[in-house]
Amino acid sequence: MTELHTPQAGDDAAPDNDVVGLLMRQHGDVRNLFDEVETSEGDARQEAFRRLVRLLSVHETAKEEVVHPYVRRNVVGGDGIVEDRLAEARSAKEALSALDDMDTNDPKFLSQLLALRADVQEHARAEERYEFTHIRRSADTAGLASLAKGIKAAEAMAPTRPHPGVESAKANMALGPVAALVDRTRDAVRKAAGRD
Amino acid sequence: MTFNPLEQRGIPLDRQLRNWRELNVAPIDPDHCDPYTRCRIITMNGIEVEAIMFSHHMARRSPDVEVKRQLAGTRYIEAQQQRVVNWLLPGVSSVLETTIAYEQVAVDLTAWVARMEPDPYLKQAYQFGVLEDFDHLYRYANLYEMIEHRKADAIVDGLTEVMPGRPTKYHHRNPVDNVRDPYDKDEVNPLSKLHALTITSTEQQTMNFYMNTGPTYMEPIARQLYQEIGLIEEEHVTHYESLVDPGETWWEQLVNHEYNECYLYHSFMEQESDPRIKAIWELHLNMELEHLHIACDLMRRHDGRDPESVLAPQLPDVLTFEPNKAYLRELLDTQIDLTTLGAGYVREAHERFEKMQEDIHGGEEPPSERVMTQHDEMFGREYRLSTEGEHPDPALREK
């Protein structure tokens, strides 16, 4: 049996004219990366974990830049919906930053990773059910597509598969800390949205 | 097995009620559970739903208010059992994820029953049906990767293969050809009665699930695929329920239902890998023993017959969730091109079948074909999981 590879959201040939569909596929990419971290060992685990951290950071930043402002502006009760999502995201971010400094070979790593995974998964489903449905209901086709453009720009910042030449954990670290990545993601999203 | 439910007493009915705290069970972890634990949960949910609805229908046909009260008493507890069992499924799972688990149940449960069924006509009914559920698993798996970027293998975990069965578009038959001949209640092996009830119940739950959750999807291809496969589940319920002898009295059927619940909870308790879930199967078995006892008393009183006259002398071997890959491959190799005609099976596309195909497809590809086309457009390939080599049918190998 050959191992099938699912390309990350944005790299598949979907038309990406619907921000919700794109974000839902990205939730699957995150889940796939959790699987990869859990099942790998040593340097491979370290490297997969770096990719997971990057994807989560980029995904959350892009949503804060693109999706939440839209929901606040266009959905009745949108502020409350966004506040609830931000609260979930905060707890996931705290768990993430605790893990971020940890050696993936640390015996405590896996149990903390599983706790993070549970937080992230609950947050993702809550978004799909309580936030994304409102977006699809209130945005027209062009609106969904322009939101998708912003998310796609962010996506390019966090490949879920190792880039050629960035295979080792050390090289990945060279991409810089999460904070810098978040800044670069914001810039990319704002540029795509023409908001510079 | 030396376990005879007729000789056991369970928990007295007036001590079976659970409070909110006891009903509030923690769900399984969808990313780390034993896939067959999830299959057992889905199976027992279908069994409990059937228990509840059968009891409602019986009560509606009962003129005796005392009987209605007795049925209501047992039924309320069964409703609590259903709420506990189905609430073991986690809120973080998507409908599509649960759907793939439903199809894993349909494949491995039906295949196991087909292997164990002693009656050749009944065995053929299960062999015929399982190749259709097998194909549904494959279509939904492709939809799953499109919508959630996840592979069905993350759910079935290599225990069940995911590849084409009898193509879904050919499952749409004239409804009259879905009605089988019933077994003879006085001649048939008691195990066969349990098999028919089990598979009817789980297919019925699958039908209910698809027909109610399908429209919660916004993606057009998802909505359409649920509509198509949901209609095939209607055919499957017709197919399996018609195997049961309609001459069984209401009392006899009630006893069969309760006996089957004892059989299945006992089976699942024996094989459960998760100790917390095993404790639930054990508790429910001890409840069911009392429900069976009550049903037997009703049968003696109102039917004037001994329940022993319609039941097996002892519990059959445990019903088991296990891989059925070799068996399924043999069926794929030999029975993929079957359809039904009247109460039997044929290989040619007869006139009534052709007419139904023409009318329902309306000259277009059905959703089950379009999902494959759309998946291919998105990924340049299809999704399948074949762990035992290429497809047994050369025509269905990946191009």
Q: What is the pLDDT of residues B112-137, one digit of tens each?
A: 999 999 999 999 999 999 999 999 99
pLDDT beyond 60 at A196: no
Q: Could B91 and A4 be called an inter-chain contact, meaning their C-beta atoms sit closer than 8 Å?
A: no
pTM (2 decimals)?
0.94
The radius of gyration computed from the CA coordinates of chain A, to the nearest angstrom, equals: 17
Amino acid at B312: A
Is the CB of residue A142 less than 8 Å away from at least one CB of chain B?
no
Give yes or no for a contact between B213 and B95, defined as CB atoms under 8 angstroms apart. yes
* Sign of the alpha-carbon dihedral angle for A41, A44, A47, A50: negative
CA distance B136 to B168: 7
Q: β-pairing, B339-341 with B344-346?
A: antiparallel
CA distance A49 to A61: 18
Stated as kind and residue range, the H or E segment containing B202 is: helix B190-213
Domain range for B89 is 5-396
Is the CB of residue A122 less than 8 Å away from at least one CB of chain B?
yes
3-state class percentages of chain B: helix first, strand second, coil last, to nearest 5 = 65, 0, 30
Vertex A75, ends A70 and A79: CA angle to 5°? 80
Give yes or no for a contact between B203 and B237, defined as CB atoms under 8 angstroms apart. yes
Q: Which of A6, A9, A114 comes nearest B151 by C-beta?
A: A6
Q: Which of A29, A117, A133 comes nearest B31 by C-beta?
A: A117
Q: Could B154 and A25 be called an inter-chain contact, meaning their C-beta atoms sit closer than 8 Å?
A: no
Is the CB of residue A132 less than 8 Å away from at least one CB of chain B?
no
Q: What backbone phi and psi angles, to 5 degrees, belong to B71?
A: -65, -40
Q: Which residue has the tokens 């949960």?
A: B41
Q: What backbone phi and psi angles, to 5 degrees, belong to B346?
A: -140, 165
Is the CB of residue A3 less than 8 Å away from at least one CB of chain B?
no
Domain count, chain B: 1
Mutate to test the interface with A, among B31, B94, B144, B149 (most CBs of A within 10 A): B149
Q: DSSP string spanning A59-92? A: HHHHIIIIIHHHHHHHSTTHHHHHHHHHHHHHHH
Q: Which of A6, A13, A35 comes nearest B145 by C-beta?
A: A6
Tokens standing for residue B62:
């009962």
Per-residue model confidence as pLDDT tens digits over B215-257: 999 999 999 999 999 999 999 999 999 999 999 999 999 999 9
The larger pLDDT score, comparing residue A184 to residue B197, is at B197
Tokens standing for residue A109:
């790593």
Coil, strand or helix at B238 = helix
CA distance B235 to B397: 27
Q: What is the mean pLDDT of chain B?
A: 97
Per-residue model confidence as pLDDT tens digits over A28-84: 999 999 999 999 999 999 999 989 988 898 888 888 888 899 999 999 999 999 999
Tokens standing for residue A67:
């999706």
Mutate to test the interface with B, among A25, A38, A127, A135 (most CBs of B within 10 A): A25
What is the interface size between A and B, counted as CB pairs within 8 Å?
60
ipTM confidence: 0.90
Pick from B105, B353, B349, B144: which is nearest to B233 by CA?
Answer: B105
Amino acid at B288: E
Amino acid at B293: H
pLDDT beyond 90 at B39: yes
Q: Which of B378, B385, B386 comes nearest A14 by C-beta?
A: B378
